[in-house]
Chain A
């Protein structure tokens, strides 16, 4: 692991971490408001480390839903990460099993987006750089959740503060980061339409998997074999 790479990654992670901190604060506040203790809210951020599913978990904690159903719901909301880890794998240089195990623990939405953009920019993915991004995002996520849990009652109405707009706008920025990839102009409208339809017909969180599947299948249909069908080896 290269120290310079780590600190370069940390700089990228700082921008991401500061952008996601409002959601950490919000999560902590919502969790405590729903009857979860501040320590539990912080544990959720440190152990689950997946914002949307944590909010779902907190909502279910407040009901009589059995434990296995809470776990299954969290799994369903996080199902998209299977696609992330599949897409990340061909770019992993690191053969060390321990660092691989760590790399995948930190595979959040922005982490994945930043890693893929780094691959697009430099053609490779340094473990040090990746962990630098991850460390800052993780620290700021856990810290902001804890602060939100303890001082959550000081946060005003989230809608008046515009917190509800932050998340879609943030993910919008992540999507735009891939606009130079082939088939972007085809995949995005298909996934968008499919996810909206699935949201209203099947419901959340299945709109994510179904919408993503529609976009990926579209890419497969549009796929044209390259002139020299050079297959890439898994490293």
Chain B
């Protein structure tokens, strides 16, 4: 370990943290100005979790190899019944078995 940090890097990290915080409070600043949330807006906001989180999953499935695709399919099936660790373990375990024992 030759150095801890320098002022320039520390400032860039701080600025990046501030930019991130702006994204985390931005929606609040927009929505909290409204006295009422119209039903149409509520429908849009209700769609946010599925709409955003899906975009973090779908490209990985599409671009992933056969091992990743099968692992994610298994995770979906397990996830319909169990959540949390079970789902992650099923997906990860499937990928590991495929990688090291079957497709290797």
- Mark A residues whose CB is within 8 Å of B: 15, 18-19, 36-40, 43-44, 47-50, 53, 57, 61, 67, 70-72, 74-75, 78-90, 92, 100-101, 104-105, 107, 109, 112-113, 116, 159-160, 162, 164-179, 181-184, 187-188, 191-196, 199, 204, 207-208, 211-216, 218-220, 223, 225-226, 229-234
Roughly how many angstroms separate A216 CA and B50 CA in the complex, as a whole number?
Answer: 9
Interface residues of B in 24-60 (CB under 8 A from A): 24-28, 30-32, 34-40, 42-60
Chain B interface residue bracket vs A: 35 or more
Given known contacts A39-B4, A211-B54, A219-B43, A78 and B96 CB-to-CB distance under 8 angstroms: no
Could you tell me if B49 and A44 are in contact, using CB atoms closer than 8 angstroms?
Answer: no
Residue of B nearest to A57 (CB): B16
Nearest 8 CB-CB pairs, A to B? Answer: A86-B27, A215-B51, A85-B27, A169-B91, A211-B55, A219-B47, A192-B58, A47-B17
Could you tell me if B31 and A90 are in contact, using CB atoms closer than 8 angstroms?
Answer: yes
Interface residue from A67, A81, A166, A183 paired with B24 (Cβ < 8 Å): A81
Residue of B nearest to A116 (CB): B49
CB distance from A230 to the nearest CB of B (A): 8
Given known contacts A47-B13, A104-B24, A40 and B48 CB-to-CB distance under 8 angstroms: no
Given known contacts A167-B60, A211-B58, A234 and B31 CB-to-CB distance under 8 angstroms: yes
Could you tell me if B79 and A80 are in contact, using CB atoms closer than 8 angstroms?
Answer: no
CB distance from A217 to the nearest CB of B (A): 8
Roughly how many angstroms separate A16 CA and B16 CA in the complex, as a whole number?
Answer: 24
Given known contacts A48-B20, A104-B28, A212 and B51 CB-to-CB distance under 8 angstroms: yes
Could you tell me if A216 and B47 are in contact, using CB atoms closer than 8 angstroms?
Answer: yes
- What are 22 inter-chain pairs, A to B, with CB distance below 8 A? A43-B5, A43-B13, A53-B16, A53-B20, A71-B12, A71-B16, A86-B30, A86-B31, A100-B28, A105-B24, A165-B92, A171-B56, A175-B49, A179-B80, A183-B46, A191-B58, A192-B57, A195-B55, A199-B62, A207-B55, A232-B36, A234-B32
